[in-house]
Amino acid sequence: MHSAAAALERLCDARAEVSAHYLISVTGDLWQMVPEAERAWHAGAGEWAGQEDINSRSIGIELDNRGDHPFSAPQMAALEGLLAGIMGRWHIPASGVIGHSCMAPGRKQDPGPRFDWTRLALQGLAASGQSGQPPHSIDPDHFRTLARKAGFTALVDDETLLAAVRLRYRPEATGPLAAEDFPPITPA
pLDDT digits (tens, 9 = 90+) for 106-159: 999 999 999 999 999 999 999 987 665 566 678 899 999 999 999 999 999 999
**Count of H-run helices and E-run strands, the chain:** 6, 3
pTM beyond cutoff 0.95: no
Distances (CA, A) of 74 to 11, 26, 47, 131: 22, 7, 30, 30
Torsion angles phi and psi, residue 157, rounded to 5? -75, 170
CA gap 64, 62 in Å, rounded = 7
pLDDT score of 95: 92
pLDDT score of 186: 60
CA gap 47, 36 in Å, rounded = 20
pLDDT score of 184: 72
pLDDT score of 172: 93
Map out the domains of the chain as residue ranges. Answer: 4-181
- Looking at the annotation, which residues are catalytic? 62
Q: Flag residues of the chain having pLDDT under 50.
A: none
**Which CATH superfamily is 4-181 part of?**
Peptidoglycan recognition protein-like (3.40.80.10)
